[in-house]
Structure 1
Amino acid sequence: MRKLSVTLASILLALAALALTPYADTAHAVLPGAIAVAALLLLLSIVADRPKAEPGRVASEPLRPAALAPAPSRNQSDAEVVNFLAILQEKGRLVDFLMGDITGYSDAEVGAAGRVLHEGAKAALLEHFGILPMREESEGSKITVPTGYAPDEYRLVGRISGEAPFTGTLIHHGWKVDWVKLPRLAGASSDRLPAIAPAEVELQ
């Protein structure tokens, strides 16, 4: 699952980079949604990738009555993911963008909202993930795919025959994650998940 998280983070960064390049008006409505979907899939993969508790060891002597240690909150992992979602909401209004009805807005208006989402989500990603290119060569260069390469590090297209090493043209340099620094929550409530964003109330 960690490879899936890395792949989704790479896709998210690729979409963010694509959003900075000139594109057709129709893409204004497509890219923000694609970025948002990739961000949510990344969050789900992080939940699935959380380490599970190790099974207890078999006791070498008969069990004796003892006080039960408090079990960790079953919502701890979920709360940490919600906390990261709250960061994306705070930085780029991700949840507002996804949960709002955009059918009544023009492509230009959706594109403007997508730019805010892009800038905020990118800042959050760079703060919590060390993202680097998979290959340092410029796109269009001739490169060699080494023997024993990891399947998630290269996508081979065209006529494929034989075994690695392969030589071909670099179409996209790819992305990888060097480190992850997700926020940790201490003492998450066992009966509810934290809020993504508080309700704002103006008092009269």
Structure 2
Amino acid sequence: MTPTSPEVRVPDREVPERNPAVPKHVPESLEPSASPEPSASPEPSERLDLTEAGEWKGVSPKYVVVEIVGTIVNAVVVCGGASLLWLLLDQTWAMWVGILVLVISIINLVFEPRRVRAIGYLLRGDDLLFRRGILFQRFVAVPYGRMQLIDITRGPVARWLGLADLKFVTAAATAGVSIPGLAEGDAESLRDRLVELAESRRAGL
């Protein structure tokens, strides 16, 4: 009878708990280790708030006179022509055209001060920002490096009031942008400043 060898007992080992979220067929070495949560990705930069882009500079309050005179002159010319057609040639449609132009002109006269206050410009790092309009606002950004022509114009009424318009044309634009109603001294200073900025940008400084 063969003697039986004494039974060797293997001590129990602690089996680490398996992550229940990981399937059983995945090796333990591939189980995701606890790590700090990744930091949230930076949010995209917000749009530039044009109302808080900087300190806007407005035009001269005297520019209201220029706009009022222009509106009255246009209304007188159109209404006068419509009246002649109605009275001399008995054209009834001309009477309605004259009435319509008169009503529109009166509305424009009421809103002229508000429209003038809505005009403004802002010198930024790389461009000039121009705005105008009440109900339908228009914002135009003109890069300094693309300015090719900077001109000062004066109408008869504006010259009498000591005002001037600053007009600049860029390389890509077919029509220029004009800042109206500037005091003559401000228009000349702004022109010299824009010429200096345009030359420095074109030179790559």
Same-fold call, TM cutoff 0.5: no
TM-score by length of structure 2 reads 0.27
Higher relative contact order (CA 8 A, sep 6+): 1
State which structure, 1 or 2, has the greater radius of gyration over its C-alpha atoms.
2
TM-score by length of structure 1 reads 0.27
